[in-house]
Structure 1
Amino acid sequence: MPWNGDCCGAGSHLEQLVAYHMAQCIGTMKLTMSCVNEKRSSERILQSKRRLCKTTRRSTGAHCSHPPYSSRETLPQRNMIAPMSPRPWIVQKYGGTSVGKLLGTMTDSIIPTYLQDYNLAVVCSARSTTKKDAGTTNLLLKALDCAVSDETSMTACDRVIDALKQEHLSAAAFLEYSGMNDGAQYILTTLRCNIVEEVENLRKFLCATWTIGEVSDRTQDRVLGVGERLSCLIVAAALSIKDLPAEMVNLENIVQAAETRSIREQRAAYQQNPVTFLQQLRHAVRTQVLACCADGKIPIITGFFGSMPNSLLHTVGRGYSDLCAALCAISLDAGELQIWKEVDGIFTADPTKVSTARVLPTVTSEEAAELTYYGSEVIHPLTMTLLREECVSLRLKNVRNPTAVGTVIYPTRSPNSSPTRSPASTQLEANMTVLMAANGYDGDKKAKRVPTAITAKDSITLVNITSNGKLPPQAFLGQIPDILARHQLALNLTSSSHQSLSLALSSTGSADLSDAVAEALPDLEEFGTTTVMRKMSIISVIGHRMKNMVGIAAEIFSALASARINIYLISQGASEINISFVVRAQDTLLAMEVVHTKVMRIPGQAEREMSFIRGPWLY
């Protein structure tokens, strides 16, 4: 659906300009005539089939072998979704590379299998066929950058948009097969027309943006939402062609539908409590999804879920489709959220760094959040918080290996958890409790007997500040975050004494870490003398309630000492499930191997004690 000018920005002047240029600067752009003619031809064929069927039934009473499709009808509704069915809901989220490269597996095997026993909602990210950097979302951001650049024409932007259109039309062509019936041909024709329409509307919108030379938060949100819509259109068509009626559910305006407050009030509410803000969207999400199911169709939901107060990308980050899937799961009271990736689940360590790493059958939500923060790409932290509040379990599964069990992230109950659950969801939760107990988590606190996983965060710089006597570290510690934020630096770990303060820093922006630290040093040196150690890594040993494991810290550091690995900073988080320490980058792999084998008790490649000792010839 074409955009209106009131979606483009916060200021009325900008809105009027965008609306004007959309209508006047470039005129009304229509679908290509070939696309329109193809669609009309398909409609005529379908109408002829329908008339033939009616005539046959009147004269002979026989059933027609051709289904009487109309221009608004889909294929026969096999595996219909009944919204009031007692079957539990499962929400599945597929990443961009899965949609781009493994669509056949999704629509031929995975989704049909789950439809046999569950009500299913599918959330899709924007497509990516090669590397994530060359995916649809990055192309859209590139097109937006071109539209606000200093170039004198839209040529560069048009090239990006043309590439985007060709990529998705090629994906649509891939769905075609020999012997397609008229209904399937009509679905494919409609898909092509919808792709062209979406992309050409995008072109008009960016042309207006280029003319104005200004981008608001809502402008960026509107542009990014195109990627998820194109992806969902393709997935819905792929299922419908296979006699599984599906329809895109566009959540792009869900925040506006649920909110009556001003943008400023929304922004304040989100900053105060993002989980509560998102929970207030659940009724609007449920209403829109069930409206699709009322027609017996599988809801294919856009992973982009609306214009947030400060833009979705800035507010949530690139993991917004995970958060959208979680929002759908709590809105539908789903028994489980499944996130499908191209790996078997969460491992005890990065398999590229520790060759003996194993897939974890279960972890808790707190463990998953810590793993995400300290280096493992598991799940968006806000996603885990939202699921934990609502007691919805999350399962990570592999599209390339769909029969594998994957990893279940168990939502340990929080004080704010919802006390009411549907019978189907309660049964799934009971099954999860049995599964967790079978994997070493005991009692309500789900305390595991040994650490669960180890992860590493590279590209760390360690800055030590020794107080000049004017202020103790505790006094100037409050000023540190502002200094770091100005220079696009993130504080990952800190440790302080009466005279000194240690900071483990990483870069938050596109700037080089060394350059950012160098620029921040003059501000930090106002508090005392500084020393800088570059090329460091943070290693985190994570396990639920690990603070209560007597002697675990001694076991970790004794193992590292036996391998002659020096430690430069130690920190245990208030979450009680994480012990982190800083080592030189050159020691990272050895440190992970040592802890993985000796502390987590997972056998390594070599079991001999001397295999971990590094001689002086390696320095």
Structure 2
Amino acid sequence: MSAPAKLRGNPPAPAPIVVQKYGGTSVGKQLHMITGNIVPQYLNDGYRVVVVCSARSGNTKATGTTNLLLRAALEAIRPKGPDLSSSVPSLRNSPSQSPAPGTPVTPRQSYLSGSLSNLRMTASGVGLDKMNGDDDRQLFDDTVDQIKRDHLEAAQKTIVNSKEVLQEVEEELEYDCERLRGFLRAAQIIDEISTRSKDIIMGVGERLSCRIVAASLRDRGIDSELVSLESIIDWDVLGDEAEVASKSADGPPQLGQEFYSKLSQRLGERLAECGDRVPVVTGFFGVVPGSLLAQVGRGYSDLCAALCAVGLSAAELQVWKEVDGIFTADPRKVPTARLLSTITPEEAAELTYYGSEVIHPFTMEQVIRAAIPIRIKNVENPRGEGTIIFPDTVSADAADETHTAKTTVAPSAAPYAPASLPSSVLEPHLGPTAITIKDTVVVLSVHSNRKTISHGFFARIFGALDKHGIVVDLISTSEVHVSMAIHGEIRKSVLDRVTRDLKVVGEISISRDMAILSLVGKHMKNMVGVAGKMFTTLAEGNVNIEMISQGASEINISCVIEERDAVKALNLVHLKLLHQAPQVFS
């Protein structure tokens, strides 16, 4: 698609905007590619770039920044050292107390001029940190030290051109970590970590990550600005949501579209203030009713990127991972898996729920509503095409109009160009699109004591599950029997309590070490016999099926099998139903 012609005398059209979301692993391991290759290339090709970052991940999940922060929060209410209640008067008389990690910080110049020792004293509330020597160290002190050490080492490794930039970011990282330490000590004194406090503590991870990314860009001569969103949500954005939350008696209400629309508008206004600078945005966007973790989950940074894209009317939202895109199956388990050039949001949501880490469903809902394509890209292979997530129900004319309105640079002129959406790309996949497996599943079966299921049978079952916070992935029912597939990582004590509560309903049986095999395709209903072929293939491969579930829409055909047969089942079904040459569009 060629760029629209410029009319003589009209002001030049603004450059198209690309919002790039980078996960913790990408920031932790491929920062040199992000700041030294990907972002500069898009800028050189005429795009405006917005970078959204998650908290850095370590070599293992347990050593990731978010997990370390959650561990520090737990350690704050398990004090190792002496009782700190005697320090409360000193806090009360202190002329300067530690701000919470989620509150706006003072301008950079106000604290860079001071020494690091003074910063430690201020951040931890008149020097509670190490005030009494090593004997006053708490469990969380070692965790905070590890977080600080990891980020300082990362900054020193990536910032190699400017000593001034390195010194500046080291002081900023030191400040944030000592401020976190002070916040944890305050939480220890009151012996409580609320959901709000936990959100604030988690938000420190994104701030630390973005400080390093922004500094790395400046080190390479790209003017950047850290955009911290801890205070972006106020009463104007919350609207009725805050009132509803205060009146709710049954847990936090789900945030509605009105909230997300207001927030995306506010984000667009804030990012527009950056001008020609590259905004580096924290994936954490503040405290919401009921906690961000409870409302959105660990994928909140994806949602933040989506809201930024909507607020800026971006040409494309890019989610950068360590894979080339979405495949017909996990390529680590199925050697014949193919890269999908396009996939619908419904299919991507199903794959995410049933085992494939694609993208948070809330993210897709927001950008697709605004007709913004989502592109999954590989940070290790930036020139790869990736996979486009976009509805196949959009007409070609509408897609072309949307893309023309947002894109002023011809994709053919830029090797990293955002997605154009010709009609061929939007043609639906006929039949299955992909297959995935969800491991570590437990099947809980309830057999009624009566000849038929009595009134209230299901209500009592799901009431018991709801009481213990258990989510059911699949359910299969017969005249007197109900089988439910649930995630197997549930604690044994919780499962024992559920079993005890359900014994009054009927006989209980539990099958462990199971897996859910899911065949996904929005248009499978247009093909006759897909389910039959799938189950026949499994039977021919001696794969026993524990339970079957299929919705009326036929977007997902799922069954529960033994976990030891998972890889074999994946390959068998993929070979029978998905192993074909990619469809070539003219």
Matching residue of 1:394: 374
For residues 430 and 188 of structure 1, the distance between their equivalents in structure 2, rounded to whole angstroms, comes to: 36
Aligned pair partner of 1:468 in 427, 440, 449: 449
Unpaired runs of 5+ residues, structure 1, are: 1-82, 604-619
Matching residue of 2:260: 278
The reply on whether 1:171 has 2:154 as its aligned counterpart is yes
Matching residue of 1:455: 436
Quick check: 1:350–1:357 contact (8 Å CA) kept in 2? Answer: yes
Matching residue of 1:502: 483
Quick check: 2:76–2:188 contact (8 Å CA) kept in 1? Answer: yes
Aligned pair partner of 1:265 in 240, 244, 256: 244
The reply on whether 1:155 has 2:111 as its aligned counterpart is no
Matching residue of 2:85: none
Matching residue of 1:205: 183
Matched ranges for 1:106-255 at <5 A: 106-115=34-43, 116-153=45-82, 154-177=137-160, 180=161, 184-255=162-233
Name whichever of 449-458 and 470-479 sits farther off.
470-479
SS of corresponding position for 1:456? strand
For residues 267 and 574 of structure 1, the distance between their equivalents in structure 2, rounded to whole angstroms, comes to: 38
Name whichever of 103-112 and 419-428 sits farther off.
419-428
Show CA shifts across 1:337-366 (max 9, x none): 111111111111112322222221211111
SS of corresponding position for 1:255? coil
SS of corresponding position for 2:193? coil
Amino acid at match of 1:345: G
1:575 Cα offset (Å):
4.7
Matching residue of 1:96: 24
Aligned pair partner of 2:270 in 270, 288, 301: 288
Amino acid at match of 1:111: V
Matched ranges for 1:448-597 at <5 A: 448-469=429-450, 472=453, 475-507=456-488, 509=490, 511-512=491-492, 515-597=493-575
The reply on whether 1:322 has 2:302 as its aligned counterpart is yes
1:542 Cα offset (Å):
0.3
In 2 relative to 1, CA 124–531 (structure 1 residues): closer, same or farther, beyond 3 Å?
same
Matching residue of 1:431: 420
In 2 relative to 1, CA 273–195 (structure 1 residues): closer, same or farther, beyond 3 Å?
closer
1:279 Cα offset (Å):
1.9
Matching residue of 2:331: 351
Unpaired runs of 5+ residues, structure 2, are: 1-10, 83-136, 412-417, 582-586
Matched ranges for 1:33-72 at <5 A: none
In 2 relative to 1, CA 234–575 (structure 1 residues): closer, same or farther, beyond 3 Å?
farther
Show CA shifts across 1:389-417 (max 9, x none): 22221111111111111111113569xxx
Matching residue of 2:15: 87
Matching residue of 1:38: none
SS of corresponding position for 1:347? coil
Amino acid at match of 1:125: S
1:164 Cα offset (Å):
1.5
Q: TM-score, normalised by structure 2?
A: 0.80
Q: TM-score, normalised by structure 1?
A: 0.76
In 2 relative to 1, CA 602–262 (structure 1 residues): closer, same or farther, beyond 3 Å?
closer
Quick check: 1:165–1:195 contact (8 Å CA) kept in 2? Answer: yes
For residues 575 and 272 of structure 1, the distance between their equivalents in structure 2, rounded to whole angstroms, comes to: 26
Show CA shifts across 1:552-611 (max 9, x none): 1122122222223222211113553100011122222222111101112349xxxxxxxx
1:426 Cα offset (Å):
7.6
1:486 Cα offset (Å):
3.2
Show CA shifts across 1:469-524 (max 9, x none): 28616742233223123344321111112222121122465x14xx5433322222
Higher RCO, 1 vs 2 (CA within 8 Å, ≥6 residues apart): 2
For residues 420 and 338 of structure 2, the distance between their equivalents in structure 1, rounded to whole angstroms, comes to: 23
Matched ranges for 1:291-370 at <5 A: 291-292=273-274, 294=275, 296-370=276-350
Matching residue of 2:101: none
In 2 relative to 1, CA 100–586 (structure 1 residues): closer, same or farther, beyond 3 Å?
closer
1:434 Cα offset (Å):
3.4
1:436 Cα offset (Å):
2.0
Q: Which runs of 4+ in 1 moved over 6 A?
A: 267-270, 426-430
Quick check: 1:89–1:118 contact (8 Å CA) kept in 2? Answer: yes
Amino acid at match of 1:380: H
Quick check: 1:221–1:313 contact (8 Å CA) kept in 2? Answer: yes
For residues 176 and 280 of structure 1, the distance between their equivalents in structure 2, rounded to whole angstroms, comes to: 37
For residues 546 and 573 of structure 2, the distance between their equivalents in structure 1, rounded to whole angstroms, comes to: 17
For residues 177 and 565 of structure 2, the distance between their equivalents in structure 1, rounded to whole angstroms, comes to: 49
In 2 relative to 1, CA 148–85 (structure 1 residues): closer, same or farther, beyond 3 Å?
farther
In 2 relative to 1, CA 162–271 (structure 1 residues): closer, same or farther, beyond 3 Å?
same
Matching residue of 2:365: 385
Higher helix share: 1
SS of corresponding position for 1:314? helix
For residues 370 and 438 of structure 2, the distance between their equivalents in structure 1, rounded to whole angstroms, comes to: 30
1:371 Cα offset (Å):
0.3
Quick check: 1:489–1:516 contact (8 Å CA) kept in 2? Answer: no
For residues 246 and 34 of structure 2, the distance between their equivalents in structure 1, rounded to whole angstroms, comes to: 37
1:174 Cα offset (Å):
1.8
SS of corresponding position for 2:462? helix
For residues 241 and 66 of structure 2, the distance between their equivalents in structure 1, rounded to whole angstroms, comes to: 28
Name whichever of 230-239 and 547-556 sits farther off.
547-556
For residues 460 and 256 of structure 2, the distance between their equivalents in structure 1, rounded to whole angstroms, comes to: 25
In 2 relative to 1, CA 454–381 (structure 1 residues): closer, same or farther, beyond 3 Å?
same
Amino acid at match of 2:465: L
SS of corresponding position for 1:339? strand
SS of corresponding position for 1:579? strand
Matching residue of 2:89: none
Show CA shifts across 1:117-143 (max 9, x none): 211100011112312321111111111
Count of residue pairs the alignment pairs up: 501
For residues 407 and 430 of structure 1, the distance between their equivalents in structure 2, rounded to whole angstroms, comes to: 10
Amino acid at match of 2:481: S
Quick check: 1:570–1:581 contact (8 Å CA) kept in 2? Answer: yes
Show CA shifts across 1:138-179 (max 9, x none): 1111111111114334422111112211221222222343xx
Amino acid at match of 2:322: E
1:332 Cα offset (Å):
0.8
1:424 Cα offset (Å):
3.1
For residues 369 and 472 of structure 2, the distance between their equivalents in structure 1, rounded to whole angstroms, comes to: 27
Quick check: 2:79–2:139 contact (8 Å CA) kept in 1? Answer: no
Amino acid at match of 1:476: F
